[in-house]
Amino acid sequence: MYQKSKITLTFLFVLLLAACAPSPYKEHSVCFFGSSVCRGEGADSLHGYAYLVGERLPKKWTYTNLSVNGNNTYDLLARFERDLGADSSRYVVIGLSLGNEGLHEHGEAALLSYRENMQRLIDMVRAAGKVPVVTNNYTRADFNEVDYQDLLDMNLEMQQWQVPTINLCGVIDDGHGRWAEGFWDGHDIYHPNTAGHVEMMSAFPPSLFEALAKGKPMPRRVTDYQTPKTDKMVSVEFAPQGTLHSYSLSCVIGDTTYTTVFSYARQLCREYRNAELISERRCTLPPKTFKVSGRNMRELMFYRSALSPMEVKALAEGQMLCSSLEVYAPLTGPDKRKNLAQSLLKIKVRERRL
């Protein structure tokens, strides 16, 4: 009870502080605020995903890392005023996990506290005049199938929140909620190794923070499709920025959603039609460029992570999933030639009549 009261007072203090004084933040600066994986544990010299993302920021951008080993949502709320309140970064990456929240040990109670406290953290970041970005939950070597299902459910829910999110699970998952083979050291069940951190870094759209700095909003899925008056062949071309490993590509042609999911960590490529798995094959590397064509194709999405079967199904059912989204081309309406995802990646859209 005391802990909850203390957190509430901290939240009120942040709101009062934001109302009374301007935020002294640096426009081009990112702060990583999380637990041990966000700090870089498991990677050589603590050069984990946060370090790698920070080093990839554009020239003149800066970053800090205020992550602490073992932290959960309660810890971040308790030290928000002391640590993040003193940091001048404009953008805040909240990097926590359901593992530290006690998912494996406490199940539903951990889900409830994570959901409630994470929403509170997001509100507090915004109240402080900063822009939040949230990493989705990732795997752990001791998770079981129940833990995994709970984690996937929470990650899918988070993709509906009005905040940019990063799909870390999809780049490191073995398909059962544990670290993919070769991306942890085989002993430390809590952290990925250096290779695992590289995968996590690759899930961040390289131009995400620049897009946020330009005020690019979260995309909304276009649902008011116009029936084409004439048959057209539509093609979309693009080359993903930076290091790309895992990816998912989905497009809608007619009433059919076609989705390709490639997991670099598992060296596995899957093809889906309306969320039904139709083929599976071994793959080693993603393409450097993508060109997708279809008769009256009306939507294309490209993610820098491997979607789970649950996420593939949600996408086919019309949900908008934004985690690690680098391209969203509605291909209809006034923005049909634009990339509406929170990235600055340029796309080429061509149409020709049949």
Task: Return the higher-pLDDT residue of 255 and 29.
Answer: 29
Residue 19: the pLDDT is 46
Same domain, 132 and 270: no
Does residue 274 share a domain with residue 185? no
For 146-154, what is the mean pLDDT? 97
Residue 248 has a CB neighbour count (10 Å cut-off) of 27
> What is the average pLDDT across 128-133?
96
pLDDT at residue 4 greater than cutoff 80:
no
* Length of the chain counted residue by residue: 354
DSSP per-residue codes, 143-161: --HHHHHHHHHHHHHHTTS
pLDDT of 230 over the 80 cut:
no
Q: Last residue of a domain, which of 204, 224, 240?
A: 204
Q: What is the pLDDT of residues 233-250, one digit of tens each?
A: 999 999 999 999 999 999
The verdict on residue 214 lying in a domain is no
We report the CATH number of the domain holding residue 341 as 2.60.120.200
Instruction: Give the per-residue pLDDT at 22.
Output: 46
| 276 pLDDT higher than 80 | yes
Kindly state the average pLDDT of the residues 312-332.
96
Cβ-count burial 313-324 (b if 16+ within 10 Å, e if not): bbbbeeebbbbb
CATH number at residue 16: 3.40.50.1110
- What pLDDT is recorded for position 334? 85
pLDDT of residue 13 exceeding 70, the answer is no
In a domain, 217, yes or no: no
Q: Which two tokens stand for residue 229?
A: 């008056």
* 303 neighbors 168 (Cβ within 8 angstroms): no
198 and 237 in a common domain: no
Q: Is 220 part of any domain?
A: no
The answer to whether 76 and 96 have CB atoms below 8 angstroms apart is yes
- Write the DSSP assignment of 53-85 as a string of letters: HHHTSPTT-EEEE---TT--HHHHHHHHHHHGG
If you average pLDDT over every residue of the chain, what do you get? 92
Residue 89 carries which side chain, given as an amino acid letter?
S
What CA–CA distance (Å, rounded) separates 208 from 113? Answer: 28
231 vs 66, higher pLDDT: 66
Q: What percent of the chain has pLDDT over 90?
A: 84
Q: Are 318 and 201 in contact (CB under 8 A)?
A: no
5 or 185: which carries more pLDDT confidence? 185
**pLDDT computed for residue 332 by the predictor:** 86
> Which structural domain, as residue segments, surrounds residue 255?
232-353
Whether 51 shows a pLDDT value over 60: the answer reads: yes
293 and 199, same domain (yes or no) = no
* 136 or 21: which leads in pLDDT: 136
List Cα–Cα distances, 178 to 141, 263, 266, in angstroms. 5, 14, 12
Whether residue 223 lies inside any domain: the answer is no
Pairs from 260-265 (Cβ < 8 Å, separation ≥ 24): 261/306, 261/307, 261/312, 262/286, 262/306, 263/170, 263/171, 263/173, 263/175, 263/180, 263/306, 264/171, 264/199, 264/202, 264/306, 265/171, 265/172, 265/173, 265/174, 265/180, 265/182, 265/183, 265/196, 265/199
Structural domain total, the chain: 2
Same domain, 198 and 336: no
The span from the CA of 190 to the CA of 203, in Å, is 19
Strands 276-282, 268-273: pairing is: antiparallel
- Report the C-alpha gap between 221 and 329 in whole angstroms: 10
The answer to whether residue 209 sits within a structural domain is no
Query: In terms of pLDDT, which residue wins out, 156 or 18?
Result: 156
Q: Which residue has the higher pLDDT, 222 or 61?
A: 61
Q: Of 89-93, 107-111, 129-133, 220-224, which gets the smallest average pLDDT?
A: 220-224
Specify whether the CB–CB gap between 267 and 283 falls below 8 A: yes
How many contiguous H segments (helices) and E segments (strands) does the chain have?
A: 12, 14
Q: How confident is the model at residue 227 (pLDDT cuts 50, 70, 90)?
A: low
Please state, for a pLDDT cut of 70, what percent of the chain lies above it: 91
Same domain, 27 and 74: yes
pLDDT score for 90: 97
CA 205, chain centre distance (Å)? 9
Q: In this structure, are 187 and 241 located in the same domain?
A: no
Instruction: Report how far residue 318's alpha carbon sits from residue 301's, in angstroms, rounded to the nearest whole number.
Output: 12
Q: What pLDDT does residue 333 have?
A: 83
3-state secondary structure string, 220-241? CCCCCCCCCCCCEEEEEEECCC
User: Mean per-residue pLDDT for 48-56?
Assistant: 98
The answer for 337, left when phi > 0, alpha when psi is -120 to 50, beta otherwise, is alpha
Compute the distance between CA of residue 319 and CA of residue 310 in angstroms, rounded to an integer.
11
- Say what the pLDDT of residue 20 is: 45
Within this chain, do residues 276 and 238 fall inside the same structural domain, yes or no?
Answer: yes
pLDDT score for 119: 97
Same domain, 260 and 327: yes
Task: Please tell me the predicted confidence (pLDDT) of residue 296.
Answer: 87
Residue with tokens 């598992």: 266
What torsion do the CA atoms of 279, 281, 286, 291 make, to the nearest 10 degrees?
Answer: -30
Asked if residue 216 is part of any domain, the answer here is: no
